[in-house]
Amino acid sequence: MTTAPEATRVAARAVEARKTYGTGEAAVHALAGVTVDFPQGEFTAIMGPSGSGKSTLMQCVAGLDRLTSGSAFIGDTDISELSKNDLTLLRRDRLGFIFQQYNLIPSLTARENILLPLTLAGTKPDQEWFDTVVATVNMADRLGNLPSQLSGGQQQRVAVARALVPRPDIVFADEPTGALDSRTGIEILTFMRRAVDETGQTIVMVTHDPHAASYANEVLFLEDGQIVDSMEAPTADRVLDRMKRFEG
């Protein structure tokens, strides 16, 4: 198995990552040779105009899609070389996911949905950590409810808890607040920020929202399948000003 070059505290990385959909004149180059590190214990946001490749980058680094060429690493594991089964196990055991549409199992209670990754892995939760996460996302009194009995915001709280309770190496979040009202979105982002600051969680988030991006340590800006800029210690206003350049 190939291992990544030595680096300090890198949770995930892409090396000359290329992803092409289609062939010939119809080919779309979603990623055009991206090399990037995602530091361990930090919150990284990925932004860019529609079609810039931001979701494709996240999906390929997270092993949800295969690169056309180049490599993607989780820690020192080159996931480009893993079999489909080994990749499934890696995602289950080492990664957490938060999507815009929650992806909860309708027939499972909130508690069962939160514990699903651990149940599939045949492991038991750290009860103290489970209680802390559930209390922080304010779902302790709704653990017995089915998704259909929860609001959209509550379902996303369950999805966030599901991603964090197993203590994954890295959490990938794709527009995690895109379907939420502003108040609930702020609560979710605040908790994600706390998970980074207080427990050393690593989070990579795709977003179109400058306010959401302001919770990150660093923002990466993509355009035409390439990283064209980055911003440390972002604020919503600075991010918005940078995004306006894409519209020029």
pTM of this structure: 0.92
**Domain locations in the chain as residue ranges:** 10-247
pLDDT tens for each residue of the chain, 248 residues long: 445 544 458 999 999 999 999 988 889 999 999 999 999 999 999 999 999 999 999 999 999 999 999 999 999 999 989 999 999 999 999 999 999 888 999 999 999 999 999 999 999 999 999 998 998 888 999 999 999 999 998 999 999 999 999 999 999 999 998 888 888 899 889 989 999 998 899 999 999 999 999 999 999 999 999 999 999 999 999 999 999 988 75
Task: Classify domain 10-247 at the CATH superfamily level.
Answer: P-loop containing nucleotide triphosphate hydrolases (3.40.50.300)
- Please state, as a whole number, how many other Cβ atoms lie within 10 Å of the Cβ of residue 196: 19
In degrees rounded to 5, what are phi and psi of residue 101?
-100, 25
Rounded CA gap, 237 and 248, in Å? 17
CB proximity list for 25: less than 8 A, separation 6 or greater: none
13, amino acid identity: R
